[in-house]
A and B are shown apart, each in its own frame.
Chain A
Amino acid sequence: MFYREAGDFKTSYREDSQTFPIKFDRLRYYAVLAVAFGVIPLFINDYWANAVFVPFLIYSIAAIGLNILVGFAGQVSLGTGGFMAVGAYAVYKLMTAFPEVSIFFHVLIAGGITAAVGVLFGLPSLRIKGFYLAVATLAAQFFLVWLFNKVPWFYNYSASGQINAPDRTIFGVFVTGAQTSATAKYMFCLVMLTIVAVIARNLTRGTVGRKWMAIRDMDIAAEIIGVNPLSTKITAFAVSSFFIGIAGALFFAVYLGAAEVGEAFGIQKSFLILFMVIIGGLGSIFGSFAGAAFLVLLPVLLKNVLVGTLGWPTDLAAHIELMIVGGLIVIFLIAEPHGLAQLWRVAKEKLRLWPFPH
């Protein structure tokens, strides 16, 4: 009823090309921001932070990063786990080497270092495409995990081979380490996610995004139009890895606190984030959120239903849960190959005409 454009006239190109052209969408977006920043921090506790919100926020960052590479620029990557590991180890080295610098900058610099590594492993993309590129990035995944296991300098020669996040504060509030409150973890990740999402949206709506999509849709035509394939692909790898590096840094420093590279950033992580992107919707920022929410929330929900409500034994529930999630992914991809974002778009199209569809 109130979800329509009628009477909402656009008088400038800026208004016409804004992110949420429909007024209701715009209001809903502000409402979501207000709830996320103003309401949730008041009520959040350790369980909700650790089981739901913090992983959702961090995976959203990683999914946005991967979506830029796979969904917008069309370069398939299976190295996400490895790039997250780069972010994690970079932030660890920075935190231990420069304790006086704010963790906020450490996380950003860790993203920058990951971007450089991403560019390095993205160079083959000029020559190889599709599955072959996927295999090349898979090599990055295994190489990076091996590197962080084998070279003790990366984990500061600790006996266990693990890395542990030291206590760090922002504005006097602990954001890493054992004393961190749920609210602080949540807020730190939320701020990072907001920055990443806004940057991602701005990049994809403008020239850079068009270059990425042109390369994705038809690389030869893109080249004739004047898109330099090397610089465009490299930019995609850099921006994507920057975000993934930030996600890795947060995943280690804020969420896990202590990490072992093979376990935390193995190939499963690469697949998990790729699934998020595919289920959420390739080439959609909203899809990255939706995919991350789906794969983070669904297991938690199932666990609560199976163990909490139905009273099944925990181990049985854990196995069934994997099967259900897997099954749902398959069903989803058959029903809507373009992901949750497409479902959302279709629903919005219908809503615009509802309740008078003719």
Chain B
Amino acid sequence: MNDMSDGYITADGRQIGGVLMELKNITLKFGGVTAISDISFDIRQGEIRAIIGPNGAGKSSMLNVISGFYIPTEGEVWFKGYKRGPMRPYEIAGLGIARTFQNIALFDGMSVLDNIMTGRLTLMKSGLLSQAMWWGGASKEEDAHREKVEKIIDFLEIQPIRKTPVGRLPYGLKKRVELARALAAEPKILLLDEPMAGMNVEEKEDMCRFILDVNDEFGTTTVLIEHDMGVVMDLSDRVVVMDYGRKIGDGPPDEVRNNQDVIDAYLGVAHD
């Protein structure tokens, strides 16, 4: 961690900490296709970091690199001061990286409560035998974790649907449950892949509020991909702009908005 400065203060006055994750010269190739070429940026403790770019710019690939699901062809990922080696997908959660998906990936056959409880799987330790008997350890552990999960349920205002099977819920609520499941893991970094996709204005406003509240309440570092420019500019502290797998801009929203490359590539070129 060469860049362990003290962070910065955001426009709305929040103190952002040191570097939590640093991506150094990441290149990702699938056969002959280069999805990401030579991108570097960092994610700081407590900030909301957005990745934007036109379709096919490599945003989702970038998110998968951050989450450890894709192993970059070249480059290094430094997390909490250590260089991260290759991992199996199920080891990622244990590191404290939780995510939501562009197409909701909930467990339809289970209740909302059970779905959110799965988020805490990596934190629950009781063994098979203890659970088979349901005496002492397993039962106590279950109650303790239930309490934590109920806090998240309260926080995201989904109390009435606690026992409803997820398959029966409307889209907007499913997105919220998925956020709850990711939060239940008490992640160091929360990755949101298009959290507002397919929502109407009110649902978007709700979701924005929840993302800001989560960041405020738990201090969760959040990385999000989003198409809605208004949302991105309002929510995020710093923005990475990608185009054709390259980074063309990086900085606070206002700075990015005025960057000529970004305007050309993403917001459109003025034809005269």
Contacts and interface: CB of A to CB of B under 8 A. Distances in A.
Interface of A: 12-14, 17, 199, 202-203, 205-208, 210-211, 213-214, 216-218, 220-229, 235, 239, 283
Which of the four size classes fits the interface of chain B? 35 or more
Contacts of A208: 128, 131
A199 B133 CA distance: 7
Interface string B52-73: 0000000000000001010000
A229 B133 CA distance: 24
B132 A226 contact: no
A216 B131 contact: no
A205 B124 CA distance: 14
B231 interface: no
B221 to A, nearest CB: 18
Given A13-B150, A224-B92, A203 B143 contact: no
A221 B115 CA distance: 11
B122 A217 contact: no
Contact of A225 (B119, B124, B142, B143): B119
A205 B132 CA distance: 10
Interface stretch (B105-113, B209-217, B232-240, B261-269): B105-113
B181 A213 contact: no
Contacts, number: 104
A13 B114 contact: no
Interface string B137-153: 01100110011001000
A210 B105 CA distance: 15
Contacts of B98: 225
12 contacts: A12-B143, A13-B146, A17-B142, A210-B117, A213-B110, A224-B90, A224-B92, A225-B122, A225-B185, A226-B91, A226-B121, A226-B122
B106 A221 contact: yes
Interface of B: 67, 69, 88-94, 98-99, 101, 105-110, 114, 117-119, 121-122, 124, 126, 128, 131-134, 138-139, 142-143, 146-147, 150, 181, 185
Nearest to A232: B90
B92 A226 contact: yes
Given A216-B107, A222-B118, A227-B121, 17 more contacts: A13-B142, A14-B139, A199-B132, A202-B133, A202-B138, A206-B126, A206-B131, A206-B142, A207-B126, A211-B121, A214-B107, A216-B109, A217-B109, A218-B108, A224-B105, A225-B90, A283-B109
B215 to A, nearest CB: 21
B121 A213 contact: no
Contacts of A224: 67, 69, 89-90, 92-93, 99, 105
A226 B146 contact: no
Contacts of B114: 210, 213
A112 to B, nearest CB: 13
A239 B129 CA distance: 11
Given A202-B132, A206-B142, A225 B181 contact: yes
A207 B105 contact: no
Given A14-B139, A207-B121, A235-B128, A223 B108 contact: no
B117 A226 contact: no
B185 A203 contact: no
Contacts of B106: 217-218, 221
A283 B109 CA distance: 9
A210 B90 contact: no
A14 B143 contact: yes
A9 to B, nearest CB: 15
Nearest to B135: A202
Contacts of B185: 225-226
A241 to B, nearest CB: 14
Contact of A214 (B118, B124, B131, B138): B118
A202 B131 contact: yes
B131 A207 contact: yes
In the A-B complex, list the 8 residue pairs whose CB atoms are closest, starting with the nearest.
A226-B93, A221-B105, A217-B107, A226-B122, A202-B134, A13-B146, A223-B89, A206-B131
A45 to B, nearest CB: 35
B93 A225 contact: yes
Given A17-B142, A227-B90, A206 B121 contact: no
B166 to A, nearest CB: 9
A343 to B, nearest CB: 17
Contacts of A207: 121, 124, 126, 131, 138, 142
A226 B118 CA distance: 9
A91 B88 CA distance: 40
